[in-house]
Structure 1
Amino acid sequence: MKRTYILAVAMVLAVAGYAQKKPKINKANSARENGDLVEAKSIIDAAIEHEKTKDDGKTWYYRGLIYATLDTTSNEQFSALAENALEEATEAFAKAEEIDPEGKNYYVSGEFGIPVLMEQQISNYYSHYYNKAVTAFQNSEFEEAVEAFENSYAIVPEDTNSYVNAAYAAHNGELYDDAVRNYRLAIDNGATSKDLYYNYVNILATAMGEKEKALEVIDEALEQFPADGPLSKNKVNILIELGKIDEAKGNLEDAIKSEPDNENLYFTLGVLYDELDNMEKANEAYKSAIEINPEHYESNFNYGVNLINSANEIIKESNNLGMSKADQKKAKELEPVIQEKLKEALPQWEHIHKIAPTDKTAIETLAYIYTQLKMYDKAEEMSEKLDNL
């Protein structure tokens, strides 16, 4: 009995000694390179727990490589080894960078013995999903595209393209919850295009019926783009739909009292009156904005549009007249009124062209006015500018 007891103790000590044996992390990576992902995973899982390897940056670097390989392998037996391989891989790479930010030892030997750095490997990992997403998008497989773009930004969170494209893919696929989430992420992560706000607001207000939330997003966008016409117009339209037009008008008028030199407030008031079909009040607001800032493009443009629309309404009326003597008489009476309206609009559109020399709408409108006023040399000049755009 005594000898048996001693033997049992010896066996326990041997097992304990074996369990505490330091994992060979280089062997884990070699197993990965040789395609033995079962062994690679087994060694590296042990290494992150072992006292002598758990704080070694290279342990986490190799773990990132191994789990990235498990994540992207086409072998179902291997891919089944890890349930959240992408998450494990990205966390491991981040841990490796935390331990050694310079990461001079984070590389493997590639073709012809050329070192392949961790940064390059992460980039390749990112590209695997990004390219997969682009292909899915082009094939109108929007759900797959969204997932792959989201995997891309999980790997490289600072790349805004993946957030933006995930939002676009979801939007195209009418996956509105995914679209809203990714538009929000794109904006929060530094994407700056106004189109993101336009699309975000459109989904909230139209597809999802969340008009109050849409107003919050518009207000946020207007902080960055205070003179943006479509945003202001959207806001006014939503307020009208919500029955809050008087509240909106009151808020704007109070704001103008507090900031009488803020041209953007007058511009927004003009947009509000335009949406209420009160052109006279709208023009007053736009002119107030222009008095404060003569080069305020949006106010000048909207005022110019209203002026040319006034002329076009009379031109339309004249064109709809018949061939009777009464109609012909009426047409002659309208002709000087049309000319007067066009002459009133002309300096405004010339000013808009001066502010924005390459604005196509301004050039086209000037060409039209010059032609109507028989200023053919000027009209030809505008036509040449259009050709050179």
Structure 2
Amino acid sequence: MKIKQIIVAGTLLVSVASFAQKDELKALKKIYDRDTPSAEDVIAYKANLNKLETLATQEGDKVYLNYYKAVLPQIEIASLGTNTPPKPEQLAKLFTPKAISDIATAYSTTLEFEKTSGKKIFTDDINEDLSVLKPMLFQVVVSLDGQKKYKEASQVFYALYQLDKKDVENLYYAASYATNGQDYDKALGYYTELKNINYTGEGISYLAKNKATGNEETYKTKLERDQYVLLGTHTAPREEKIPSKKGEIYKNIALILVDKGRTDEAKTAISDARKANPDDTSLMLTEANLYLRLNDKVTYSKIVSEVLQKDPNNPELLFNLAVLSSDTDSAQAEKYYKKAIEIKPDYFDAYLNLSELLLRSDEKFVKEMNSLGTSEKDNKRYEALKLERNNSFKKIMPYLEKAVELKPDNQDAKTTLIGVYSALEMTDKAKALKDKK
């Protein structure tokens, strides 16, 4: 079945193939070949599938039965009509993770059977469908992500990976979403598979600015990006290197193993990765993070020293060290952020993260101030805390101001700075920043 128009116009195109089969298979083929099957056709389609469950005894009949069963969601989508594209909720209802997995299995089985038999009945349909199914199913993922259904989104990504194992990035996203959904057993399995196939995720992103929206958009290939630039709809083409995800993959394997109490396995996993990639600083940081999680600060400090010896003036490295230290040693994290800023004065993320780190102390001020009564002693303590709190805000303010200067449109930085201005009763500055578009 060809479904290349389903996203753009909601039309389901079908191919024509004729072959002698059981009556039920012929009936299924007849409905399959219709551009827009009716609701009655869908009922008849399902009825013939049920009949074939016991009648399909030969290998070919079984293969095609499973194929027709797997493409039932496409038949149902086509029966909705051709006027408008299917809605994400309709897609999510029909294309469940199991349904996508069944499609993947049926496609691969059918392709292999037709390759062996030499009869290409559905091969061309399948190859064409893959290019359309994947972007359509991404709509399902977007819908699930918006509902914070991370486990379900992970299942869809894994099903997409089964659909086309050349697109390993889907396995990476399956692992990431499984982690976000706290489905750690699945995440560990996916990350381990990524490790075994030596996935790095390195590459190049091709970007260009959309004239209509003003937003920068990302393309997988230079050719695709350049076509939009030539059409005149996009400007300012540029490339951006996608860094290796290997360190992150090993880190997550190790952290999940630690959470499961499998500490020795976690240490071995990182140690083996380090031996295979001795110059990979991301893996060194992963190992440091592991020992930090295990509260082994001696080993952590040793590895950090080793990392810094390799590249002491690398701002990204210092930034990552700051992130690692921020939950356990805020003073050290502050030093790393400041050093990164010293080396790279336009390092927006370092300014923003440093501001967030320093703002953490505000909670203790607010908590104690709210707990005070109205006695003279409490009033004096309140004023002392207010002064101390204001001094803390004044220390943070320059970093936030620099962050806003570097990225005026960043809402997180703007909102936080407005809050600091308001706390310091700098109402004019707060208003001016609010009024800026």
Q: Output the TM-score relative to the length of structure 2.
A: 0.50
- 1:43 is matched with none
Compute the displacement of 1:325 (Å).
1.4
Distance 1:381 1:136 in 2: 38
1:71 aligned onto 2:123: no
Distance 2:429 2:158 in 1: 54
Compute the displacement of 1:334 (Å).
3.9
Compute the displacement of 1:351 (Å).
0.9
**Equivalences for 1:52-63 in 2 at 5 Å?**
none
Distance 2:173 2:330 in 1: 40
Percent of matched pairs sharing the same residue: 23
75, 91, 95: which one pairs with 2:112? 91
Query: For the structure 1 residues 169 and 348, does the alpha-carbon distance in structure 2 shift closer, same or farther, using more than 3 Å as the test?
Result: closer
Cα RMSD between the aligned structures? 5.5
3-state DSSP of counterpart to 1:357:
coil
Aligned positions, number? 299
- 1:369 is matched with 420
Deviations 1:140-172 (A, max 9, x none): 9x89x95x8766544432345864676588779
Compute the displacement of 1:345 (Å).
1.5
323, 345, 350: which one pairs with 1:299? 350
1:274 aligned onto 2:269: no
Q: Which runs of 5+ in 1 are unaligned?
A: 1-27, 38-63, 76-83, 100-104, 109-114
Compute the displacement of 1:372 (Å).
1.9
- Asked if structure 2 preserves the Cα contact closer than 8 Å seen for 1:67 and 1:88, the reply is no
- Asked if structure 2 preserves the Cα contact closer than 8 Å seen for 1:353 and 1:363, the reply is yes
Query: For the structure 1 residues 155 and 67, does the alpha-carbon distance in structure 2 shift closer, same or farther, using more than 3 Å as the test?
Result: farther
1:380 aligned onto 2:431: yes
1:344 aligned onto 2:352: no
Query: For the structure 1 residues 32 and 352, does the alpha-carbon distance in structure 2 shift closer, same or farther, using more than 3 Å as the test?
Result: farther
Query: For the structure 1 residues 259 and 381, does the alpha-carbon distance in structure 2 shift closer, same or farther, using more than 3 Å as the test?
Result: same
Distance 1:182 1:121 in 2: 26
Q: Which runs of 5+ in 2 are unaligned?
A: 1-16, 27-58, 71-104, 203-241
- 2:164 is matched with 156
Distance 2:353 2:144 in 1: 42
Matched letter for residue 322 of structure 2: G
Distance 1:208 1:255 in 2: 28
Distance 1:157 1:29 in 2: 30
- 1:265 is matched with 317
1:242 aligned onto 2:294: yes
168, 181, 199: which one pairs with 2:189? 181
Distance 2:370 2:162 in 1: 61
Higher helix share: 1
9, 20, 25: which one pairs with 1:31? 20
Q: Larger relative contact order (C-alpha < 8 A, sep ≥ 6)? A: 2
Asked which structure has the greater CA Rg, the reply is 1
322, 337, 346: which one pairs with 1:286? 337
Compute the displacement of 1:117 (Å).
5.3
Query: For the structure 1 residues 296 and 210, does the alpha-carbon distance in structure 2 shift closer, same or farther, using more than 3 Å as the test?
Result: farther
Matched letter for residue 190 of structure 2: N
Compute the displacement of 1:132 (Å).
11
Deviations 1:207-252 (A, max 9, x none): 64445666758989xx9996xxxx97x8766423424321121221
Distance 2:254 2:384 in 1: 45
Q: Output the TM-score relative to the length of structure 1.
A: 0.55
